[in-house]
Amino acid sequence: MTPAFDSTAPTEPALAYLPPPACIGVLGGGQLGRMLAQTAQTLGYTVAVLDPDANAPASSLSEHFLCVDYSDDAGLTALSQVAERVTTEFENVPAMTLERLARELGVSPSAACVRIAQDRVLEKTTIQACGLPVAPFWGIESHADLAHVPAQLFPGILKTTRLGYDGKGQVVVPNAQALPGAFALLQASPDGAPTACVLEKKLPLQAECSVILARSEGGACVHLPVQVNQHHQGVLFSSTVFPGWVDPGLEQTLQNAAQTLAQALNYVGVLCVEFFILDDANATAPWVVNEIAPRPHNSGHHSLNSCSMSQFELQLRVLVGLPLTPVAQHSPCVMLNLLGDLWWDPSAVRTNASNAPQEPDWWRLLALPGTHLHLYGKKEARRGRKMGHLNITADTPEAVMNTVAQCLALLGLESLGLGVAPRLGPTRTAWDSPTHGVP
Ligand code: AIR
Give me the tens of pLDDT residue by residue for the chain, a chain 439 residues long. 445 566 565 567 899 999 999 999 999 999 999 999 999 999 999 999 999 999 999 999 999 999 999 999 999 999 999 999 999 999 889 999 999 999 999 999 999 999 999 999 999 999 999 999 999 999 999 889 999 999 999 999 999 999 877 778 899 999 999 999 999 999 876 777 889 999 999 999 999 999 999 999 999 999 999 999 999 988 999 999 999 999 999 999 999 999 999 999 999 999 999 999 999 877 778 999 999 999 999 999 999 999 999 999 999 999 999 999 999 999 999 999 999 999 987 564 555 555 678 889 899 999 999 999 999 999 999 989 999 999 999 999 999 999 999 999 999 999 999 999 999 975 434 333 344 333 2
Residue 428: the pLDDT is 38
Nearest CA to ligand 1 atom 8: 30
Give 372-395 as a DSSP string: EEEE---SS--TT-EEEEEEEE-S
Ligand 1 atom with minimal separation from the 386 CA: 17
Going from the Cα of 385 to the center of ligand 1, the distance in angstroms, rounded, reads 9
Ligand 1 contact, 33 CB (< 6 A): yes
Give the atom of ligand 1 at the shortest distance from the alpha carbon of 28: 13
Torsion of CA 276, 174, 119, 229, to 10 degrees: -30
- Answer whether 28 contacts ligand 1 (Cβ < 6 A): yes
Q: Give the ranges where 119-173 is alpha helix by DSSP (H).
A: 120-129
**29 Cα: distance to centroid of ligand 1 (angstroms):** 8
Specify the 3-state DSSP secondary structure of 140.
strand
Our CA angle for 185, 191, 193, nearest 5°, is: 65
What is the per-residue pLDDT for 274?
A: 98
Please give the Cα distance from 88 to 108 (Å, whole number): 8
Q: Which of 26, 27, 31 most suits a substitution to test ligand 1, by most atoms within 8 Å of the C-beta? A: 31
Side chain identity at 328, as an amino acid letter? A
pLDDT of residue 404: 98
**Which domains does the chain show, CATH number per domain?**
23-117 (3.40.50.20), 136-201 (3.30.1490.20), 205-432 (3.30.470.20)
Is 133's C-beta closer than 6 angstroms to any atom of ligand 1? no
Cβ of 166 below 6 Å from ligand 1: yes
Ligand 1, atom nearest to 293 Cα: 3
pTM: 0.92
Distance in Å, CA 31 to ligand 1 centroid: 6
The residue nearest atom 9 of ligand 1, judged by CA position, is: 30
SS3 state of residue 103: coil
Given ligand 1 and candidates 67, 90, 376, which is best to mutate, with the most ligand atoms within 8 Å of its CB? 90
The pLDDT score that the predictor gives to residue 407 is: 97
* Distance in Å, CA 51 to ligand 1 centroid: 11
Considering only CA atoms, which residue is closest to atom 12 of ligand 1?
30
Give the pLDDT score at 110.
97
CA of residue 311 to ligand 1 center, whole Å: 16
- Residue 88: how many CB atoms within 10 A of its CB? 29
202, 195 Cβ separation under 8 angstroms = no
Q: Evaluate whether 162 touches 118 at the Cβ level (below 8 Å).
A: yes
Residue owning the nearest CA to atom 14 of ligand 1: 30
Residue having the nearest C-alpha atom to atom 18 of ligand 1: 30
Instruction: Please provide the DSSP assignment of 395-422 as one string.
Output: SSHHHHHHHHHHHHHHHT-GGG--SSPP
Residue 206 phi/psi, 5-degree rounding, is -90, -40
Please list, in sequence order, all residues whose beta carbon lies within 8 angstroms of the beta carbon of residue 319, skipping any fewer than 6 positions away. Answer: 15, 24, 85, 87, 106, 108, 269
CB 333 within 8 A of CB 391: yes
Q: Which residues touch 161 (CB under 8 Å, ≥6 apart)?
A: 119, 120, 121, 139, 195, 196, 197, 198
Q: Residues 221, 259: contact at Cβ < 8 Å?
A: yes
pLDDT at 351: 53
Q: Is the CB of 89 under 6 A from ligand 1?
A: yes
**72 CB under 6 A from ligand 1?**
no
Residue 439's nearest CA partner among 330, 320, 327 is: 327
- pLDDT recorded at residue 193: 81
Using a 6 Å cutoff on CB, does residue 165 contact ligand 1? yes
Ligand 1 atom nearest residue 32's Cα: 12
Give the pLDDT of residue 4.
58
Q: What are phi and psi for residue 139, nearest 5 degrees?
A: -80, 135
Whole-number Cα distances in Å, 85 to 88, 218, 359, 368? 11, 17, 36, 40
**Cα–Cα dist 391/412, whole Å:** 17
Give the pLDDT score at 349: 58
The SS3 assignment for 155 reads: coil
The C-alpha atoms of residue 40 and residue 319 are separated, in whole angstroms, by 10
Is 349:412 a contact under the CB 8 Å cutoff? yes
Residue located nearest, by CA, to atom 11 of ligand 1: 30
